[in-house]
Structure 1
Amino acid sequence: MPGFGLSMGLTLLWLSVIVLIPLSAVFIRSAGEGWESFWASAASERAIAAYRVSFGTAFIAGAINSVFGLLVAWVLVRYDFPFKRLVNALVDLPFALPTAVAGIALTALYADTGWVGKLLPAGLPIAYHLPGIVIALTFIGLPFVVRTVEPVLAQMGKESEEAAATLGATRLQTFTRVIFPTIAPALATGFSLAFARGIGEYGSVIFIAGNMPFRTEIAPLLIITQLEQYDYAGATAIAAVMLIASFFMLLLLNVLQGWQRRRVAI
């Protein structure tokens, strides 16, 4: 192909400068201290607790977004109603809103003195506890599910549902046997995107999490804490673990997207 060599060379050069070299520096820096030092930092009790918080809350938020993101996408595709464009724009608001602003707003809303927090029972705290982290990650992850499922629903149309109804299928049977198998790859892709975004989220979480070690401390915050203490080896070790996890999430995401493209082609 004409120009392939030059285009590919520029592409690899740009990816190397922007992505590969900085990420490689993390692994090289973490490996420079030796395996024992790396393992002591990456697998410390505090680090494992931070992984548990980051991955656990991101998974819960992704699961919540899979349900309600599908509902939002369904409403936007299948129904016409007043202010539909406004609702459609609100879905993308977490993309444009600075994450720190979202964290401050959610904290003010769900704190004990906030509009919502003061209405909650005393035994059901949200801000500065794990539920607050889940809410923040749900907020920033919703658009990923909606925008991934929405075009699949729009392309599917209503003909298959009408055919199923003609054959005597109930609404539940139509959803489980006709609609869900079609949108399942897109829904899985949206969940993976929301989950991957959640495990690396920092700005919207630190204000509402409480940041208590072993309880509400997320892995990105632990990396910042290690850097502030000039423990560069510990910070890069934890960062390397997060990079590996992100790589496998992106690998899974590419597999899901390939699965989706094959289903659409069929």
Structure 2
Amino acid sequence: MKADKGFNLLFLVISLFLLLFVLLPLLNMILNPGNVAGAFNDSEVIKSLLVSIKAAGTATVLAIFLGIPLSYLLARYHFTGKNVVEAIIDIPMAIPHSVIGIMILAFFYGTSIGRGIEDIGFEIVDNFWGIVVVMLYVGLPYMVNSGRDGFLMVEEELENVSRTLGASKIKTFFNISLPLIKNNLVSGSILTFARGISEVGAILIVAYFPKTTPVLILDRFNEYGLSSSKPISVIMIVLSIILFSVFRLVRYNKK
């Protein structure tokens, strides 16, 4: 019994250390935010926030449109190479951010496909759509995986009953399958949005302008130091906490 108490105490101390390791820097920033009012009155800060939110929102909508079909296929069918497909989707989570930027840039300016896309007027360098491309690339795994997990929880018998009652496959998908994974879609969208809005390394390489908020924070830190970058960082922290809280609420409501 004494050994059990010692074991529990050891794990409690380690866990407490871990929680403080995460929480203390966060509390320090929130309790000592600097001139946040001044940051909100800075037109460059507001512009960067609008760019970040708009780009992350656009990337999230594209991720839903592009990711849900693959999520459904991965959940409903077993085929040769399925593990390879799942691994490919997860690759953006394993590659360093700056490398992702180099990859995207090299594709658009070093391949015939990329040059063909540029020839029709789709430019990414120092362009809003370059930011969207980066955010979509890094956020897709979260949407696809969340959607796949949702479809796996939907009983195929429900879909089969719908089909036997005369509904087409597409009607069954939109009337039965998709509504049942709405919480997964919301959580996947929040994670995709949060991943996109926090991206900085790849965006610095592909589309330095128009500046997103993380890029502006880095600029202000390099030019003016901690006092100038901290208030903008606090704004991003609050935004991230709001997104995280919504995500946790959605996950709680799913249970």
Is this a same-fold pair by TM over 0.5? yes
Match of residue 56 from structure 2: 58
Which residue among 182, 185, 204 is the counterpart of 1:184? 182
Q: Do residues 43 (structure 1) and 46 (structure 2) align?
A: no
Equivalent AA in structure 2 for residue 115 of structure 1: S
In 2, the alpha carbon distance for the partners of 1:102 and 1:95 equals 10
Equivalent AA in structure 2 for residue 191 of structure 1: S
1:214-233 → structure 2 map (5 Å cutoff): 216-233=210-227
Which residue among 220, 230, 234 is the counterpart of 1:240? 234
Runs of 4+ in 1 over 4 A off after TM superposition: 2-5, 7-10
Identify if the C-alpha distance between structure 1 residues 20 and 170 changes in structure 2 by more than 3 Å, giving closer, same or farther. same
Equivalent AA in structure 2 for residue 27 of structure 1: I
In 2, the alpha carbon distance for the partners of 1:39 and 1:116 equals 47
Q: CA deviation at 1:23?
A: 1.4
When normalised by structure 2's length, the TM-score is 0.89
Superposed CA deviations along residues 45-88 of structure 1, whole A, max 9, x for unmatched, are 00111111111111111111122221111122222333222112
Match of residue 82 from structure 1: 80
1:1-266 → structure 2 map (5 Å cutoff): 6=9, 7-8=11-12, 10-16=14-20, 18-31=21-34, 37-111=35-109, 114-119=111-116, 120-121=118-119, 123-209=121-207, 211-212=208-209, 216-261=210-255
Equivalent AA in structure 2 for residue 197 of structure 1: R
In 2, the alpha carbon distance for the partners of 1:63 and 1:123 equals 22
In 2, the alpha carbon distance for the partners of 1:173 and 1:12 equals 51
In 2, the alpha carbon distance for the partners of 1:200 and 1:245 equals 10
User: Which ranges of structure 1 fall in alignment gaps of 5 or more residues?
Assistant: 32-36, 262-266
Q: CA deviation at 1:187?
A: 1.1
135-144 vs 225-234, which deviates more?
225-234
In 2, the alpha carbon distance for the partners of 1:155 and 1:28 equals 42
Q: Say if 2:36 and 2:235, in contact at 8 Å, map to a contact too.
A: no
Q: Say if 1:27 and 1:236, in contact at 8 Å, map to a contact too.
A: no
User: Which ranges of structure 2 fall in alignment gaps of 5 or more residues?
Assistant: none
In 2, the alpha carbon distance for the partners of 1:208 and 1:98 equals 14
Q: CA deviation at 1:9?
A: 5.3
19-28 vs 177-186, which deviates more?
19-28
19-28 vs 51-60, which deviates more?
19-28
When normalised by structure 1's length, the TM-score is 0.86
